Chains A and B, each alone.
Chain A
Amino acid sequence: MADTAVHPAASSEPRGPKPRKKLSRNNIIIYGTLLVVAFYYLLPLYVMVVTSLKGMPEIRLGNIFSPPVEITFEPWVKAWSQACTGLNCDGLSRGFWNSIRITVPSVIVSIVIASVNGYALANWKFKGADAFFTILIFGAFIPYQVMLYPIVIMLREIGLYGTLWGLVIVHTIFGMPILTLLFRNYFTSLPEELFKAARVDGAGFWRIYFQIMLPMSLPIFVVAMILQVTGIWNDFLFGVVYTKPDLYPMTVQLNNIVNSVQGVKEYNVNMAATLLTGLVPLVIYFVSGKLFVRGIAAGAVKG
């Protein structure tokens, strides 16, 4: 063909995929940065793990970064089942089940309420809805300390002070602003026509919520779940202020172990306790991290 004459050297010229150096400058920059960043993010975890596996004498030697010469699981055992809180020397295990007892209903109730709120705000706007929502967002900024007393009084008035359900309410209240924001944004991003179709089909508020919206909302529920589990599991202040010792969550023991000012600090036990306490949220992150990102992308942020 004529073209062959025009490009005699065609066969020797670039053909197929562009050759890419594995170590292009770009890649070096990208992966270099990421590695540095990963180092920064992993360093504390490394320190925690390493320390928690050392004995006290080794820790006194100083270098917190050096790997343990002699690995011991003693601190973990101690943190879990022996460390004392006042007179109770059964470690974190004592609060673990309390934490579960608190976290599970709090997460469920707060998510249920916030999702219904978000749904109502997105699809069933009523007069003043925007105003309430603005107040909610305002609430997101209120430091918890400020609300500590008013809430004590409110709980006292409704007779739930010191009970598990009182605490659940508190978590629901403080989780509400951000969760409602997330749910509202998410439901807003769902096609409105779906909602209209369901109304024409005669479905009411609840039926649309349960049969149409809920099944489509897995990603945002995962996001909400992760945020709430993290927040509630790690909560110390509310858990201790609004309940009684027999309900104290694990963080109270963690605080007791970590913050016992007097006496020698057992750093290895501290670290082990820290890791143990963080385990539940961490596991949830590692397991559902992908869904988390997808959920956020799916509507937590309005694009």
Chain B
Amino acid sequence: ADLEVTHWWTSGGEAAAVGELAKAFDARTDHHWVDGAIAGSGSTARPIMISRITGGDPMAATQFNHGRQAEELVEAGLMRDLTDIAEAGKWREVINPPSLLDACTVDGKVYCAPLNIHSWQWLWLSHKAYADAGVPVPTNWDEFVAAAPALEAAGIVPMAMGKQGWQQSGAFNVMMISLLPKEIFLQVYGDKDADVAAGADVARIFKAAADARAMASNSNVQDWNQATNLVITGKAGGQIMGDWAQGEFQVAEMTAGEDYTCLPGLGVNRTLQAGGDAFYFPVLKDAETTAAQGELAALLLDPEVQVAFNLKKGSLPVRGDVDLAAANDCMKKGLDILATGDAIPDFNQLVSSDTRVQIEDLFVEFFADASMTPEAAQERFAAIIADAD
């Protein structure tokens, strides 16, 4: 049968990675992958997918971010229960970290197939920039902040940062995980503890965010890859960005450790968040396509497919038992951390989209408006957390 699969992976590497899935699916089953890609990231694609599902004419499978995005669709009975397939594939055993599968589980039933792991907690540094400014390449966040005046004096932007909410709130969360004990993060976002959010620890992070804001004040770009490009060309010292930035350095043919440095956990806490993408399978009426759905779900967790996909995508496989020899330096650092088990659930798994958007809005404002004090921002932050569900 023809299976229509929607996703928002449209850039070169992503498309190639999806291609691996399609290739495997077409080759190993009797079915055919019909591609329904929609560019413009989740915010463009998600309403379309939801409309399709609620409109009663769903696709056979669709990508969502790991987390709570599809929660209600599941509750409304629009998503297919994959529990038997998960059990058959022993997902509970092979998926690492297990929190990924937890995110797919509602009332003990599995509703999605995790595909990959992305982590946010990376600081990317340009060797050229620091050389130009005549200071050594920092090895942790504090050094990074301390080096800022020297860079500025040399006409270099200390920190590159795109002007979009998800980048800014992402950076903030990275600082919270990396500069504080990870419990605080879990208390704030997991338990929605407004007191902690208003507390002194988080206040430090807001100070750090203010530092970041000052350092990034001359970074006149919108998109994250444009910001990365500033680092690559040495126009900026560093950038907080997820592991997908790695791809940009690769395209620019730069070598980790030589031309650039990646510091997981900002060089402080070696803790990674395990988020990523997952596939959901809407309930279909047609038996044949339903069967095909099952085969696709099983296929996604297949070790070979995992390797092929993640190598192209630049992300980490969700199985702890696959061999990623071809991975590069930074990726290996990540794998190491995951292997030591120091991973916490993704932001998207902890908070609802509503809260996420509110937090993004807050940081968009905070980073754009230098007159907004960290205290004021924290106050609003705490209020959002208090209201969050």
Contacts and interface: CB of A to CB of B under 8 A. Distances in A.
B13 A252 contact: no
B41 A261 contact: yes
A156 B48 contact: no
Interface in B207-240: 223-225
B51 A84 contact: no
Nearest to A259: B40
A260 B41 CA distance: 8
B225 A156 contact: no
Interface in B24-55: 33-41, 44, 47-48, 51-52, 54-55
B52 A162 contact: yes
Interface in A179-221: none
Interface stretch (A38-46, A240-248, A279-287): A240-248
Contacts of A264: 225, 251
Contacts of A26: none
B225 A262 contact: yes
B225 A261 contact: yes
Given A262-B225, A263-B247, A87 B52 contact: no
B11 A87 contact: no
Given A256-B39, A264-B225, A161 B10 contact: no
A150 to B, nearest CB: 11
A71 to B, nearest CB: 25
B48 A240 contact: yes
A255 interface: yes
Contact of A262 (B4, B51, B56, B244): B244
Interface of B: 4, 6-7, 9-15, 18-19, 22, 33-41, 44, 47-48, 51-52, 54-57, 59, 223-225, 244, 247, 251
Nearest to B54: A152
Interface string A82-94: 0011111000000
**B14, B22, B51, B251: residue with the most chain A Cβ atoms closer than 10 Å:** B51
A241 B59 CA distance: 12
A259 B55 contact: no
A252 B13 CA distance: 20
A297 interface: no
Contacts of B55: 152-153, 155-156, 161-162, 242
Contacts of A34: none
A148 interface: yes
A136 B262 CA distance: 58
B40 A255 contact: yes
A104 B356 CA distance: 42
Closest 10 CB pairs of A and B: A86-B37, A162-B57, A256-B39, A263-B11, A262-B11, A245-B36, A259-B40, A87-B35, A161-B55, A86-B35
Interface string A251-283: 010011111111111000000000000000000
**A87, A162, A244: residue with the most chain B Cβ atoms closer than 10 Å:** A87
A260 B47 contact: no
B37 A256 contact: yes
Nearest to B225: A262
Contacts of A242: 51, 55
Nearest to B4: A245
Contacts of B54: 149, 152-153, 156
A86 B15 contact: yes
Contact of B12 (A88, A155, A263): A263
B7 A86 contact: yes
B39 A260 contact: yes
Given A260-B10, A262-B13, A262-B14, A88 B51 contact: no
**A148, A149, A255, A261: residue with the most chain B Cβ atoms closer than 10 Å:** A261
A86 B62 CA distance: 13
16 contacts: A85-B35, A86-B35, A87-B15, A87-B22, A152-B51, A156-B55, A162-B52, A162-B57, A241-B47, A245-B36, A256-B37, A256-B39, A259-B41, A261-B40, A263-B12, A263-B225
Contacts of A88: 35, 37
A246 B251 CA distance: 33
Contacts of A153: 54-55
Contacts of B9: 86
A242 B54 CA distance: 11
A84 B38 contact: no
A258 B12 CA distance: 13
A179 to B, nearest CB: 25
A244 B4 contact: yes
B251 A85 contact: no
A73 to B, nearest CB: 22
B5 to A, nearest CB: 9
**A86, A148, A162: residue with the most chain B Cβ atoms closer than 10 Å:** A86
Contacts of A262: 11, 13-14, 225, 244, 247
Contacts of A149: 51, 54
B11 A241 contact: no
B40 to A, nearest CB: 4
Contacts of A84: 10, 12, 15
B22 A244 contact: no
Contacts of A257: 39
A135 B156 CA distance: 57
Given A84-B15, A149-B54, A261-B224, 18 more contacts: A84-B12, A86-B7, A87-B18, A148-B47, A152-B54, A162-B55, A244-B59, A245-B6, A246-B34, A255-B38, A255-B44, A256-B40, A261-B41, A262-B13, A263-B11, A263-B12, A263-B247, A263-B251
